[in-house]
Amino acid sequence: GTSPSEKKEINGTNGQLDLEASHVLHNSLISIPPTVVSAEGSYVTFGTGRRVLDGCTGAAVAIIGHGNPEVLAAVQEQMSKVSYTHTVAFTTPVAEALANEILQGNPHGLSRAFFVSSGSEAMDSALKLARQYYVEIGQPQRTRLVSRQRAYHGNTVGALSVSSHVSRRAPFLDALVLNNVSYVSATYAYRGQLEGESEEEYSARLVQELDEQFQSVGPETVIAFVAEPVGGATAGCITAPKGYYQGVRRLCDRYGILLILDEVMCGSGRTGTYFAFEQEGPGVYPDLLTMGKGLGGGYAPMGAVLAHEKVIRGLQSGSSYFVHSHTYQAHAVGCAAALAVQKVLRRDGLVARCAAKGRWFEAALNATIGQRKYVGNIRGRGLFWGIEFVQNRATKEPFPPALRFTWKLVDEAFRRHLSIYPGAGTADGFKGDHVILAPPYNASDDEFEDLVRLLNEAYDAVETEVDLALVE
């Protein structure tokens, strides 16, 4: 158990803040979260003085770590020139430079970037680009969207509508969630691949299911299929079986349906290539791709939609205007931060480091925590790893939601000065508890070793606690 003083420290109250004294609307309506006062490199420091290893970079955000002086200098320089200009009417050199940096060489036919301030805005913007594209090219009958189970695309109304995060949708169903969306299975081999089924067969079956879904709603009524190449917040880093995205691309081409890939969490190098979809085989490309999190690396709230030139040409054929804008789109300081992050990534070869360190990380996880009795599945790519916990490895039976396994582990890790990301688990209406690990690409070798060690120590504490709880 936690001593009262330790509890105080974990809660960050420590005599500084109590619920009545805070006028911030925190997500928890009954407690105040711990107070963060500074962050540097791979560490975050709390008001209590506690320094915590950032094993998940918040929500897979701080890809180059915290407090990078080059980013700070770039932001300061931009602020001294111009912080804000209305970017519907004007552009800035820094927004142009950021788009050039990301789209140089016209990667995979992607030719334009629309910059926003979050992943959710990026998804809403992508949905609107897709819909307006069909209006402009004379196919206004396309009104439907197809998404997947265990998908998370954001919390704004459009993005939430194509998400399947049960608990985040629940209060808003029938009121603030669009009903023109249907769902197909996630690429979730651990629970979805059948006994004796090969990876190729599993992949073909999922593509077949998507084909049947398109046909059942009428493929000529579908705007887009939306998917995360590596599923994040709701799925714990699930990857697709080989050939899946090639099959998806072929179906989209056959029916003229747009493919929207959401790389808000898995993009910006996180999986070991700059775009996660680049590992899905030749011929795979998105018509629209969303970015967020790592784009600004946490230094500024940034998101983006990258559009294929085909979409841009289609829009231009019917209109001279994209009917969507935000006051803070392509914000100059946000663009400066993101540009500096991209430059550090490129110069320091951090995407390659992410891939290399990712291989070490995968092996280290499998050799340690992967051997423990409540660990059902370890999956991911690059420096993006999910660990799913089950009561019984043989039957894959999840823990009862009341046990709150995920949260127990997050708390035990935090007590050991390690921060990990709680994925949506049984308490959110999904089978299987899980956590996500997503350290900075430039964490030191020692920090990676610490991460694995502290995670194992936290797991051991939870295993002991859970053994007792299950006996009771």
C-alpha 451/C-alpha 448 separation (Å) is: 5
Task: Decide if residue 330 touches ligand PMP (CB under 6 A).
Answer: no
Q: For the CB of residue 121, give the shortest distance to ligand PMP in the complex, in Å.
A: 7
Helix (H, G, I), strand (E, B) or coil at 7: helix
Answer for the pair 262, 234: CB distance below 8 angstroms, yes or no: no
Per-residue interface string for the shown chain with ligand PMP, residues 135-174, x marking contact by CB under 6 A: -----------------xxx--------------------
The smaller minimum CB distance to ligand PMP, of residues 59 and 82, is found at 59
Where does this chain touch ligand PMP (CB under 6 A) — which range of 15-23, 127-135, 261-269, 446-454?
Answer: 261-269
The smaller minimum CB distance to ligand PMP, of residues 304 and 354, is found at 304
Q: For the CB of residue 470, give the shortest distance to ligand PMP in the complex, in Å.
A: 32
Where does this chain touch ligand PMP (CB under 6 A) — which range of 198-206, 227-235, 369-377, 438-446?
Answer: 227-235
How many residues in the shown chain lie near ligand PMP by CB under 6 A? 15
Of the residues 39, 264, 315, 351, which one makes contact with ligand PMP according to CB under 6 A = 264
Q: For the CB of residue 408, give the shortest distance to ligand PMP in the complex, in Å.
A: 22
Of the residues 53, 223, 233, 276, which one makes contact with ligand PMP according to CB under 6 A = 233
The smaller minimum CB distance to ligand PMP, of residues 137 and 177, is found at 177
Query: Quick one: which of 55, 153, 166, 163 has its CA closest to 436?
Result: 55
Query: Quick one: which of 52, 4, 18 has its CA closest to 450?
Result: 52
Task: Decide if residue 186 touches ligand PMP (CB under 6 A).
Answer: no
Answer for the pair 137, 307: CB distance below 8 angstroms, yes or no: no
Tell me the one-letter amino acid at 90.
F
The smaller minimum CB distance to ligand PMP, of residues 219 and 296, is found at 296
Ramachandran region, residue 411 (left: φ > 0; alpha: ψ -120 to 50; beta: rest): alpha
Of the residues 9, 136, 228, 362, which one makes contact with ligand PMP according to CB under 6 A = 228
Question: Which residues does 75 contact at the CB level (< 8 Å), separation at least 6?
Answer: 299, 300, 333, 336, 337, 340
Of the residues 158, 286, 292, 423, which one makes contact with ligand PMP according to CB under 6 A = 292
Answer for the pair 458, 413: CB distance below 8 angstroms, yes or no: yes
Of the residues 13, 92, 120, 164, which one makes contact with ligand PMP according to CB under 6 A = 120
Question: Which residues does 45 contact at the CB level (< 8 Å), separation at least 6?
Answer: 36, 37, 38, 39, 51, 52
User: How many angstroms separate the Cα of 235 from the Cα of each of 119, 152, 165, 189, 324?
Assistant: 17, 8, 9, 11, 30
Residue nearest to ligand PMP (CB): 119
Give the residue ranges of DSSP H helices in 12-92: 57-60, 69-81
Of the residues 127, 240, 265, 466, which one makes contact with ligand PMP according to CB under 6 A = 265
Of the residues 54, 136, 262, 447, which one makes contact with ligand PMP according to CB under 6 A = 262
Task: Decide if residue 362 touches ligand PMP (CB under 6 A).
Answer: no
Exposure class string for 178-216: b at 16+ Cβ within 10 A, else e: eeebebbebbbbbbbbeeeeeeeebbbbbbeebbebbee
The smaller minimum CB distance to ligand PMP, of residues 304 and 339, is found at 304
Question: Which residues does 353 contact at the CB level (< 8 Å), separation at least 6?
Answer: 441, 442
Answer for the pair 153, 121: CB distance below 8 angstroms, yes or no: no
Task: Decide if residue 386 touches ligand PMP (CB under 6 A).
Answer: no
Q: Which of residues 53-92 bind ligand PMP (CB under 6 A)?
A: 59
Q: For the CB of residue 287, give the shortest distance to ligand PMP in the complex, in Å.
A: 17
Q: For the CB of residue 303, give the shortest distance to ligand PMP in the complex, in Å.
A: 6
The smaller minimum CB distance to ligand PMP, of residues 64 and 462, is found at 64
Of the residues 34, 65, 229, 232, which one makes contact with ligand PMP according to CB under 6 A = 232
C-alpha 145/C-alpha 133 separation (Å) is: 14
C-alpha 246/C-alpha 256 separation (Å) is: 15
Answer for the pair 190, 171: CB distance below 8 angstroms, yes or no: no
Chain positions contacting ligand PMP, by CB under 6 A: 59, 118-120, 123, 152-154, 228, 232-233, 262, 264-265, 292
